[in-house]
Structure 1
Amino acid sequence: MSTTKHGAQRERRTRNRGRAVGIPLVLTAVAAVACLAVALVPGSGTDTGRPAGAAVAGTPAGDPTGSGSAEPATGAPTDSAQPSASASAAASASPSASASARPSASASASATSKSAAAPATGRIRPGVSYQGVATAYEAADGNGACLFGPSGDMMIAAMNTTDYETSRACGAYVLVKAANGASITVRIVNECPLPCAPGQLDLSQQAFAKLADLKVGRLSITWTLLSPASAPDTLSVRYKTGSSQYWCAIQVIGHRNPVAALEMRTASGWRRLSRTSYNYFLAADGNGCGASIRITDIYGEQLTVDGLAVKPEVAQPTRVQFARH
């Protein structure tokens, strides 16, 4: 009995040791399986290959919401654990929205340059008929606000302030028609201040007399811009009194079509001058004075004049003239 009892005790101790050994083994196996399962879950790991704050493909760095990013390419994976090489390929394959929507600097600069070179037509436009009234004034020798000097042909007129447009109308030829059927071509050499209304022409008495008796006073008219054959064969250029290499003002005389712009060549390229109300183009700092001049009419034709010295109050002839339209 004693032997049997001790043997049973040893057997129980042996079974207990087996259980004690077996439980840790089972727990170890379960833990290994759990770890393996966790490792296999997509996106569960951290991407230690990308530095903190680096951009994910399609999302700018520093934009955690990605609201400004482009849509990912169709079928492209968006998993953050995607290798960086694949992310770079996806980014290069689909340009960002900002790159496709915003023009390049060179394209913008090219567009700005083209727009600046195109002349503005102003209020007086070719092919447009204007209505107004004609009045008359004593034009004396024909000089006026445009500062062309005395006029050999007194078929001249003063343009109302609105359509004068800071001397843009100076030198323009207009065909004036009265309701009675009479017509006359005049050249704009002066400005008619308020109360001259838009469309109104203040004709020299000599010109008005071609349309009606001076006693009429006011005459209903229509008028249109001309590009006449009767214009001088060539135009001239004149520097204003006081002009030098340090300050100059330039005027165009005898041009067939209204002048829209005047530029001077400088070391950095063509420089467009501002126009004054007294019909001169001004270079207040002298930059370009005495250099080549480029003149543009309202039709966009450009004429370049070289080799003119700064000679104040001298009308220097050129070899060029604007074409008829």
Structure 2
Amino acid sequence: MNRRHLRWTVPAVTVFVASVVAIVLFTQVGGSAACAAGGSASYYSAGRNGMCNLGTPAEGLYAAVGRAEYAGGKACGTYLDVTGPNGTVRVQVVDLCPSCPAGKIDLGKGAFARIGALSAGIIPVTYGTTRDPQVGPLQVKLTGGTAYSALTAVLNNHGNPLSTVELQTPSGFAPMRQGEDNTWTAPSGAVTSPVTLRIADMYGHQATVAGLTLGPKDFQPTGTVLYGGPSPSPSDSPSPSTVESSAPSPAPVASAGPSSLPPAPKC
């Protein structure tokens, strides 16, 4: 996949990392609230897509996380607020970092430069998942759906970890299965346009997206959002930017939603 192109060298990395104070900050992914060691960040180039098949946000505002936090793809499309020596930046999770232990993340070069010196190569950070980040309408990329290839979907602009994606069929909504590469696969069988999907995240937000067509290779824009009610973000959050391959840009934090939803974890 040629995912990692590190552009730095760090002398005595072992000594440096040993000096970083572990800060418990873990994120909520896949419906479980836990606290994990946060501690350090390096920078790299994700290439065109990253493991999540979302493309890479402009200005390098993206991140790769270790296997535990990646959670088999459930972290894909979520956002992290990362604080380093020089401030805080918001990044989208678009990739897996196979070699990253708990608390170690890789940032796009642009994101790293906003919170630390590139010459440092690796910096101490704290970070956490952003609940209900303000993003645009949902985007969907469909492939397959023929007698020989099951329908697969990649979703963007959902903000929170997704819990279910379902395909509408003549007999009702059929669940799709998420893979590690962030593709949701429907049961075998041909699908006809227009396609309708029902989408839900781990906080109970739900939306139905209709009118999707088979054939387009890129993300299809929709007029449907998964949640709403934005509130101001911290002043040091980055401003929204355009995204390659129609991926969403970092944006301000939104309100937590209905009070019946589970509270955010307190670590």
The interval holding the TM-score normalised by the smaller chain is 0.5 to 0.7
State which of 30, 53, 70 in structure 2 corresponds to 1:122. Answer: 30
Deviation at 1:284, TM superposition (A): 4.8
Q: What whole-Å deviation, never above 9, does each CA across 1:274-299 have from its counterpart, x for those lacking one?
A: 11111110125136665421011121
Aligned position for 2:197: 293
Equivalent positions of 1:186-201 (< 5 A) are 186-194=91-99, 196-201=100-105
CA contact (8 A) 1:173 1:188 kept: yes
Determine which structure has the larger strand proportion and give its number.
2
| 1:149 aligns with one of 51, 55, 59 | 55
Partner residue in 2 for 1:138: 45
Q: 2:168 aligns with which of 230, 248, 265?
A: 265
Moved segments of 4+, more than 4 Å: 123-126, 287-290
Contact 2:174 2:187 in 1 (8 A): no
- Unpaired stretches in structure 2, ≥5 consecutive residues: 1-27, 228-253, 257-267
Scaled by the length of structure 2, the TM-score of the pair is 0.66
* Cα separation, 2, equivalents of 1:175 and 1:124: 19
Where does 1:158-307 land on structure 2 (aligned, <5 Å)? 158-178=64-84, 180=85, 182-194=87-99, 196-227=100-131, 230-232=134-136, 234-240=137-143, 242-244=144-146, 247-286=150-189, 290=193, 291-307=195-211
Cα distance in 2 between the residues matched to 1:168 and 1:226: 14
Once residues 266 and 308 of structure 1 are traced to their aligned partners in structure 2, the CA distance between those partners, rounded to angstroms, is: 14
Partner-residue secondary structure (3-state), 1:292: strand
Q: Measured at CA, do residues 207 and 181 of structure 1 come closer, stay the same or move farther in structure 2, by a change above 3 Å?
A: closer
- Residue type at the aligned position of 1:257: N
Note the C-alpha offset of 1:157. 0.7
Q: Which structure carries more helix by proportion?
A: 1
SS of 2:111's partner is: helix
Q: How does 1:26-37 map to 2 (within 5 A)?
A: none
Listed one character per residue, the Cα deviations across residues 54-86 of structure 1 (whole Å, up to 9, x for unaligned) are: xxxxxxxxxxxxxxxxxxxxxxxxxxxxxxxxx
| Alpha-carbon distance in structure 2 between the residues aligned to 1:214 and 1:124 | 34
Distance 1:251 1:139 in 2: 18
Deviation at 1:161, TM superposition (A): 1.5
CA deviations over 1:97-131 (Å, ceiling 9, x no partner): xxxxxxxxxxxxxxxxxxxxxxx9527759x6862
RCO higher in structure (CA 8 A, sep ≥6): 2
CA contact (8 A) 2:138 2:222 kept: yes
Which runs of 5 or more structure 1 residues have no equivalent in the other structure? 1-119
**What SS does the corresponding residue of 2:72 show, helix, strand or coil?**
coil
CA separation in 2, counterparts of 1:189 and 1:259?
14
2:145, 2:190 within 8 Å by CA — same for their partners in 1? Answer: no
Q: Deviations over 1:180-218 (max 9, x none)?
A: 362111111111012x10222100111111111122222
Cα distance in 1 between the residues matched to 2:163 and 2:128: 18
Give the secondary structure class of the aligned counterpart of 1:148: coil
Identical counterparts, % of pairs: 29
SS of aligned partner of 1:208: helix
Q: Which amino acid aligns with 2:209?
A: V
Q: Which residue is 2:17 aligned to?
A: none
Are the aligned partners of 1:157 and 1:203 in contact in 2 as well (CA < 8 Å)? yes
CA RMSD of aligned residues (A): 2.6
- What amino acid maps onto 2:94 in structure 1? V
The code of the aligned residue for 1:137 comes to: Y
- Number of corresponding residues: 200
State the shift of 1:159 in Å.
Answer: 1.3
Residue of structure 2 equivalent to 1:57: none
Secondary structure of residue in 1 paired with 2:114 = coil
User: Per the alignment, in what secondary structure is the counterpart of residue 203 of structure 2?
Assistant: coil
1-structure distance, mates of 2:102, 2:36: 13
Structure with max Cα Rg:
1
- Write the letter of the residue equivalent to 1:256: G
CA deviation string 1:122-149 (max 9, x = no partner): 27759x68623211112345x2111112
Counterpart residue identity of residue 225, structure 1 = T
What is the identity, as a one-letter code, of the residue corresponding to 1:313?
A: K
Q: Secondary structure at the match of 2:119?
A: helix
